[in-house]
Structure 1
Amino acid sequence: MGLLSHRVERSELKPSDHIYTWRAAYSYSHHGIYVGGSKVVHFTTKKEAGTGGLDSAVAISSLLSAGSPECPTFPDCGFQLPDSGVILTCLDCFLRDGALHGFEYGVPPAVFLAKLRGGTCTTAASDPADAVVHRAMYLLQNGFGSYDVFENNCEDFALYCKTGLLLPPEKGIGRSGQAASAVGVPLAALFSTPFRLMSAGPLGMAAVTAGMYCAGRYITDIGVRKDVVKVEVENLSAHLGWRRAKAEEEWVKKKQQPAKVSTRLLPLKRKRDSDLHLQSVK
């Protein structure tokens, strides 16, 4: 257990483990659920031609690479339904030569606050392994909505699979510790500004900022928040309004289509035209 993240070995993995790997020189991490058989279910942007449904960094690298995007080991690696961001890949393709880390659940508050980076642990407890794998495989077949860096990202997906907890749809930031950290750092610096006179120079300012940053991470953790709700995976789309949004989208498309003008005459109009014709003949 490190202050930055929790490194694990492949031999330690068990189905339902929440794993992640750092990307772009530790600038962000990509999360997924290990479902066994060297397979990982994770959440990315929706499937698009040429990208194979991979996250943005993978998509760019695949476009620049001259090699085949197909996995040479597992034929079903990269399985992803159209219009869905949930994808099944092998562990090697998920890691992309990166190190394997395990997301920690049920950590004490002191350990949570000691972590230097968000998105590595939570105070919330994990559900049983079979429930976690069931959620991941169900979402592979049904999707997890639209990918959003702050409101619905890969860490949000993995956290839901592990806990079944969701925030109300109207909340602006998801359950992701990475998102909370990204927002918390500038806010901590902003709100700590009035304390400059109380702090002993730059070191005091840094200490106040760090304290507010850690406090902000803690109060936004799903294990601490009181506004999270437990939602069964079968009711997930209805809870988040995905079906309603899709129905509204279809209604808008239908409304935008030009109305078809019927060439058939109404019965009364046909009768009137027939009477006028008879009168003209007479």
Structure 2
Amino acid sequence: MGLLTNRVKRSEIKPGDHIYTYRAVFAYSHHGIFVGGSKVVHFTRLETNTSSSSNNEADSLTEECLKYPDCGFRQPNSGVVLSCLDCFLKNGALYSFEYNVTPSLFLAKVRGGTCTTAASDPPETVIHRAMHLFQNGFGNYDVFQNNCEDFALYCKTGLLTVDRLGVGRSGQASSVIGAPLAALLSSPLKLLMPSPVGLATVTAGMYCVSRYATDIGVRSDVIKVAVEDLAVNLGWGNNEAENVSTNRQPGDLISLD
């Protein structure tokens, strides 16, 4: 992987890797966790009868996979899906999300949703989280606070945003929010800029700073939460969930067989 692209070959990815692909001519990216056996666990919107968007991931999962009978399986009322790699990519290119990058490299990657300064946990822990959430869900999908990238980032790091009213962990979402914010912050500086080039430079700099400030590797409003305790922390669970979380250990693995 280089500065300009995180594109990789299928032979290069390993179980526990955070992968993604672009949709709608690079308009946005869809993220998931590769768990081995040509399978990916990822988070989507719940399928609805009223949805008419051609970009809705849930719509594409209604198509039958002829290669893997279990492809597209999800628990009732859950947006966490187990798909084969082919159906996840939908003919798109394969990219690998980078972890533990330096601040300079993070800022050099102008597009959000490609890397983080946060460190990844071991692959077995990542797969355990992904399979646990596949069985138990990841709450309601929200494009800014709880999306597919948030899901993959949590599986890789175990970090959860404390302030649910702010932007989530997703670098892709923070980029969308950061761009207008940068333009707004730079507007008072127009009088100080002798040319459009100077204004563009200031705007770009503020955009990068605002994107970096929302990265989970440097934020102060994130905490490490065991996947067994996730439902309780986010208010999804009940007393039964609390009992399960006290009896399960964070290192316990769920079989992929």
The TM-score with structure 1 as length reference comes to 0.80
2:130 is the counterpart of 1:115: no
One-letter identity of the residue aligned with 2:38:
S
8 Å contact from structure 1 (residues 169, 240) kept in 2: no
1:256 corresponds in structure 2 to none
8 Å contact from structure 1 (residues 45, 56) kept in 2: no
Write the distance in 1 (CA, Å) between the matches of 2:188 and 2:102: 31
Per the alignment, do residues 61 and 31 of structure 1 end up closer, same or farther by CA in structure 2, a change over 3 Å counting? closer
2:11 is the counterpart of 1:11: yes
Per the alignment, do residues 36 and 87 of structure 1 end up closer, same or farther by CA in structure 2, a change over 3 Å counting? same
Write the distance in 2 (CA, Å) between the matches of 1:126 and 1:15: 13
SS in 1 for 2:41: strand
Write the distance in 2 (CA, Å) between the matches of 1:81 and 1:196: 53
Gap regions ≥5 residues in structure 1: 64-68, 245-282
- The correspondence for 2:125, drawn from 128, 131, 154, is 131
Per the alignment, do residues 107 and 55 of structure 1 end up closer, same or farther by CA in structure 2, a change over 3 Å counting? farther
- For the pair shown, which has the larger CA radius of gyration, 1 or 2? 1
- List 4+ stretches of structure 1 deviating above 6 A: none
Write the distance in 2 (CA, Å) between the matches of 1:4 and 1:242: 39
One-letter identity of the residue aligned with 2:25:
A
Per the alignment, do residues 7 and 133 of structure 1 end up closer, same or farther by CA in structure 2, a change over 3 Å counting? same
Per the alignment, do residues 168 and 13 of structure 1 end up closer, same or farther by CA in structure 2, a change over 3 Å counting? same
1:31 corresponds in structure 2 to 31
2:103 is the counterpart of 1:104: no
Per the alignment, do residues 226 and 81 of structure 1 end up closer, same or farther by CA in structure 2, a change over 3 Å counting? same
Write the distance in 1 (CA, Å) between the matches of 2:127 and 2:204: 36
Write the distance in 2 (CA, Å) between the matches of 1:4 and 1:183: 22
SS in 2 for 1:146: coil
Write the distance in 1 (CA, Å) between the matches of 2:215 and 2:61: 34
Write the distance in 2 (CA, Å) between the matches of 1:57 and 1:160: 22
2:204 is the counterpart of 1:205: no
Alignment of 1:75-86 (within 5 A): 75-86=69-80
Per the alignment, do residues 230 and 59 of structure 1 end up closer, same or farther by CA in structure 2, a change over 3 Å counting? closer
Per the alignment, do residues 238 and 55 of structure 1 end up closer, same or farther by CA in structure 2, a change over 3 Å counting? farther
2:213 corresponds in structure 1 to 219
Write the distance in 2 (CA, Å) between the matches of 1:235 and 1:175: 18
2:46 corresponds in structure 1 to 46
2:20 corresponds in structure 1 to 20
8 Å contact from structure 2 (residues 4, 109) kept in 1: yes
Higher helix share: 1
CA RMSD of aligned residues (A): 2.0
2:254 corresponds in structure 1 to none
One-letter identity of the residue aligned with 1:75:
P
8 Å contact from structure 2 (residues 44, 57) kept in 1: no
Q: CA offset at residue 5 of structure 1? A: 3.4
Q: CA offset at residue 171 of structure 1? A: 3.3
One-letter identity of the residue aligned with 1:223:
G
Write the distance in 2 (CA, Å) between the matches of 1:241 and 1:44: 20
Per the alignment, do residues 27 and 3 of structure 1 end up closer, same or farther by CA in structure 2, a change over 3 Å counting? farther
8 Å contact from structure 1 (residues 138, 233) kept in 2: yes
Write the distance in 2 (CA, Å) between the matches of 1:41 and 1:240: 21
The TM-score with structure 2 as length reference comes to 0.87
Write the distance in 1 (CA, Å) between the matches of 2:54 and 2:44: 5
2:236 is the counterpart of 1:242: yes
Write the distance in 2 (CA, Å) between the matches of 1:222 and 1:207: 25
Write the distance in 2 (CA, Å) between the matches of 1:60 and 1:4: 31
1:145 corresponds in structure 2 to 139
Write the distance in 1 (CA, Å) between the matches of 2:119 and 2:138: 22
Gap regions ≥5 residues in structure 2: 239-257
